[in-house]
């Protein structure tokens, strides 16, 4: 197994691939006006959509914020991450109230009991991010451009434990240029060299717990966003949920 390529190196590779492949930076991958239930990029083939009687399980958000040093090395910032979690959870709560579905949150003990499923989803989502949204370079030819990943019956224990039919996962890694980094950028620009000021990458993933199918997946890559503040954090959640399947 390519053990050396997973983990941190993969995150970096994924980041690079996203930056390379996102066709129109400055937009999300799926502006709300375009995404439909039949949009094969973001929706699994044959997915019929959600109904109001479906129960949605909200998984614990996986987010990490970094500061970009002058040298471009991302340094994790625990305090920023704590703020981001607070704002994102708040934004999701507001969305929850507006949603027409019943939303339940996965408790800590339940998460302990299903750690393997959660960990498996994270690993598979990394592959979806890279191979489905990472541009033509990384596309898996056998998928023929379709969102076609399934956990089989592996997610059923989660359905049984929570009574939910679908699970929604969020994952975000976000970096912000430190003051030194901004100074560096200005200096480099004067020399005609462009360097990044930080990037926000993430995904929202909707899984049918009974069939195991990843029925909807949205990838986000953009050079802006600030999860440390409430309003921009809400905007990031909106961007991640852009194109979320309509609820009949």
- Furthest C-alpha separation in the chain: 60
Does the protein bind other proteins through residue 6 (CB under 8 A)? yes
Does the protein bind other proteins through residue 32 (CB under 8 A)? no
Does the protein bind other proteins through residue 88 (CB under 8 A)? no
Classify residue 86 by burial, with Cβ atoms within 10 Å: 0-12, 13-18, 19+. Answer: middle
The Cα–Cα gap between 76 and 175 comes to 9
The residue count of the chain comes to 248
Residue 202's SS3 state is strand
Q: Which CB sits closer to other proteins, 37 or 182?
A: 182
Q: Which CB sits closer to other proteins, 116 or 160?
A: 116
Quote the least distance from Cβ 197 to other proteins, whole Å.
3
Q: Which of residues 176-195 bind other proteins (CB under 8 A)?
A: 177, 182, 185, 189, 194-195
Does the protein bind other proteins through residue 92 (CB under 8 A)? no
Q: Quick one: which of 55, 110, 161, 197 contacts other proteins (CB under 8 A)? A: 197
How is residue 194 annotated by DSSP? -
Quote the least distance from Cβ 156 to other proteins, whole Å.
10
Q: Which CB sits closer to other proteins, 26 or 48?
A: 26
Q: Quick one: which of 33, 48, 71, 78 contacts other proteins (CB under 8 A)? A: 78
Q: Which CB sits closer to other proteins, 37 or 139?
A: 139
**Is the separation of the CB atoms in 158 and 57 below 8 Å?**
yes
Quote the least distance from Cβ 53 to other proteins, whole Å.
27
Residue 248: which residues within 8 A CB-CB, separation 6 or more?
Answer: 49, 50, 51, 52
Does the protein bind other proteins through residue 145 (CB under 8 A)? no
Does the protein bind other proteins through residue 232 (CB under 8 A)? no
Q: Quick one: which of 32, 115, 187, 246 contacts other proteins (CB under 8 A)? A: 115
Tokens of 236: 């990031």
Quote the least distance from Cβ 120 to other proteins, whole Å.
5
The Cα–Cα gap between 131 and 127 comes to 6
The Cα–Cα gap between 224 and 176 comes to 9
Does the protein bind other proteins through residue 150 (CB under 8 A)? yes
Q: Quick one: which of 71, 141, 179, 191 contacts other proteins (CB under 8 A)? A: 141
Residue 120: which residues within 8 A CB-CB, separation 6 or more?
Answer: 151, 154
**Is the separation of the CB atoms in 210 and 166 below 8 Å?**
no
Q: Which of residues 37-56 bind other proteins (CB under 8 A)?
A: none
Question: What are 172's strand-pairing partners?
Answer: 63, 202
Residue 79 falls in which region: left (phi positive, over 0), alpha (psi -120 to 50) or beta: alpha
Q: Which CB sits closer to other proteins, 32 or 123?
A: 123
Q: Quick one: which of 196, 230, 232, 247 contacts other proteins (CB under 8 A)? A: 196
């Amino acid at each position: 197994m390519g053990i050396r390529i997973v983990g941190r190196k993969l995150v970096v590779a994924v980041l690079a691939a996203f930056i390379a492949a996102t066709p129109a930076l400055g937009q999300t991958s799926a502006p709300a006006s375009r995404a439909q239930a039949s949009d094969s990029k973001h929706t699994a083939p044959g997915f019929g959509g959600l109904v109001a009687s479906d129960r949605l399980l909200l998984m614990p958000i996986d987010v990490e914020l970094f500061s970009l040093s002058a040298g471009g090395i991302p340094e994790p910032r625990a305090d920023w991450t704590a703020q981001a979690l607070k704002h994102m959870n708040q934004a999701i709560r507001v969305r929850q109230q507006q949603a027409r579905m019943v939303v339940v949150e996965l408790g800590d003990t339940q998460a302990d009991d299903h750690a393997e499923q959660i960990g498996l989803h994270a690993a598979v989502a990394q592959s979806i991010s890279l191979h489905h949204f990472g541009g033509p370079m990384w596309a898996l030819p056998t998928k023929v451009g379709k969102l076609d990943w399934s956990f089989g019956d592996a997610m059923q224990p989660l359905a049984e434990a929570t009574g939910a039919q679908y699970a929604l996962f969020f994952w975000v890694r976000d970096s912000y240029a430190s003051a030194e980094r901004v100074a560096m950028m200005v200096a480099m620009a004067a020399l005609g060299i462009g360097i990044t000021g930080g990037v926000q990458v993430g995904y929202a993933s909707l899984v049918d717990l009974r069939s195991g199918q990843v029925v909807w997946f949205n990838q986000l890559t953009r050079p802006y966003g600030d999860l440390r503040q409430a309003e921009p954090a809400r905007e990031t959640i909106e961007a991640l949920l852009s194109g979320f399947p309509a609820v009949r």
